[in-house]
Homo-oligomer: A and B are copies of this chain.
Amino acid sequence: MKRPTITDIAREAGVSKGAVSYALNGRPGVSEATRHRITAIARELGWEPSETARALSGVRAGAVGMVLDRPADVLGVEPVFLALLTGIQRELGPASLILQVAPDHAAELEVYRRWHGERRAGGVLLTGPRRDDDRIAELPRIGLPAVALGGPLGCPGVPSVRVDDAAAVGEVLGYLAALGHRRVAWVTGPGVLVQTRVRAEAFAAVAGRLGLAGARTVHTDHSGEGGVAATRRLLAGSRPPTALLYDTDVLAVAGITALRELGLAVPDDVSVVAWDDSALCRLVRPALTAVRRPVAEFGALAVSVLRDLMTGGDPGDVRTSPPSLVTRGSTGPARPGP
**Residue ranges of A at the interface with B (Cβ–Cβ < 8 Å):** 2-3, 48, 50-53, 55-56, 68, 70-72, 74, 78-79, 81-83, 85-86, 89-90, 96-101, 111, 114, 117-120, 223-225, 227-228, 250, 253-254, 257, 260-261, 279-280, 282-285
* Residue pair B117, A3 in contact (C-beta under 8 Å): yes
Closest to A81 in B: B82
| B-chain residues with CB within 8 Å of residue A261 when the two chains form the complex | 285
| B-chain residues with CB within 8 Å of residue A224 when the two chains form the complex | 279-280, 282-283
Q: Given A51-B120, A85-B99, 5 more contacts at CB 8 Å?
A: A50-B118, A52-B55, A78-B82, A85-B101, A261-B285
A101 to B3, CA, bound (A): 22
Closest to A79 in B: B78
Closest to A287 in B: B257
Given A96-B98, A100-B89, A224-B283, the answer on whether A48 and B260 have CB atoms closer than 8 Å is no
Given A98-B98, A118-B50, the answer on whether A279 and B223 have CB atoms closer than 8 Å is yes
| B-chain residues with CB within 8 Å of residue A51 when the two chains form the complex | 118, 120
A228 to B279, CA, bound (A): 12
Question: Whole-angstrom distance from the CB of A265 to the nearest CB of chain B?
Answer: 14
Closest to A257 in B: B285
| B-chain residues with CB within 8 Å of residue A99 when the two chains form the complex | 85, 89, 96-99
| B-chain residues with CB within 8 Å of residue A56 when the two chains form the complex | 50, 52-53, 56
Closest to A280 in B: B250
16 example contacts (A-B, Cβ-Cβ < 8 A) are as follows: A2-B117, A52-B56, A52-B119, A71-B82, A71-B89, A72-B86, A86-B101, A89-B100, A96-B99, A97-B98, A98-B99, A224-B280, A224-B283, A225-B283, A228-B283, A254-B283
Closest to A223 in B: B279
| B-chain residues with CB within 8 Å of residue A70 when the two chains form the complex | 86
A47 to B282, CA, bound (A): 53
| B-chain residues with CB within 8 Å of residue A68 when the two chains form the complex | 85, 89
Question: Whole-angstrom distance from the CB of A108 to the nearest CB of chain B?
Answer: 12
Question: Whole-angstrom distance from the CB of A16 to the nearest CB of chain B?
Answer: 21
